[in-house]
Amino acid sequence: SGKSTLAFELERRCRAAGIATTLVEQDWYRQRSWDNRTPDGFRTWEGKQFTDWAKLEEAVEEAVASAQRQADVIIVEGYLLLDCTRSLFERFDGFIWVESTKAQCRKRRWQVPRDWPDAVAYVDRCVWPVHEEYAARVSKLCLFDAEDTADLKHGRLQNLVQSPALWMAPEQDAEQRADRAFEWLRAFHPPKTEPAEGELC
């Protein structure tokens, strides 16, 4: 969906603007799981069980401890990220949701478990169902700042605000997403002369 691309570009822009920034990537905290089969017996890599949430939280806490002296912004990037521990969830000051379509997902996904015939079949039967179930759950956590009312059709604007959140439309290109995300972050985290605490985005 472009999450990593956006995170790297947001980190670059923040640093170029003089905002000290730390990026924590969920991919470094992947783990194996015995719960790795679909109901019909095929291997899957999709699900929150494939992330070591405790280690990810530890990495974020280390970044926060460092940020009290060095950084203004901490970006935590990942897949199914809001399935993290409750204590880590409560650490976040805001969220950026990068939306995707099934067609985009099929195009981007190329690596799959060995017993799948092709990436399209894996996306259709594993990746996309997990994504839809996750999206339905997390839409209840945040009210996303959509660009216009057309975004209502995606079902992301349903509930009371719990934390500030930004919704990225699937048709936006990488540059548009980066422009909007950086503008949102600058408004949400104005530069500080003497940051007392690390802040998470």
Residue 105's pLDDT is: 79
| pLDDT greater at residue 164 or residue 109 | 109
| pLDDT greater at residue 94 or residue 63 | 63
Residue at 180 is within a domain: yes
Q: How far apart are CA 73 and CA 198, in angstroms?
A: 6
Question: Residues 188, 163: contact at Cβ < 8 Å?
Answer: no
Which domain, by its residues, includes 71? 3-188
Q: If residue 43 lies in a helix (H) or strand (E), which one and from where to where?
A: none
- Summarize the confidence of residues 35-60 as an average pLDDT: 83
pLDDT digits (tens, 9 = 90+) for 130-189: 888 888 877 666 545 444 433 433 433 333 234 566 776 777 788 888 888 888 888 766
Residue 151's pLDDT is: 41
Domain count, the chain: 1
- Summarize the confidence of residues 95-123 as an average pLDDT: 79
pLDDT digits (tens, 9 = 90+) for 65-106: 887 665 578 999 998 888 888 888 888 888 888 888 888 878
Residue 117 CB contacts under 8 Å (≥ 6 apart), including other chains: none
Q: How far apart are CA 115 and CA 41, in angstroms?
A: 10
Residue at 195 is within a domain: no
CATH number of the domain encompassing residue 171: 3.40.50.300
Q: How far apart are CA 58 and CA 153, in angstroms?
A: 37
Q: What is the DSSP letter of 127?
A: I
Asked if the model's pLDDT at residue 34 lies above 70, the reply is: yes
Burial of 181 (0-12, 13-18, 19+ CB in 10 A): buried
Residue at 83 is within a domain: yes
Residue at 197 is within a domain: no
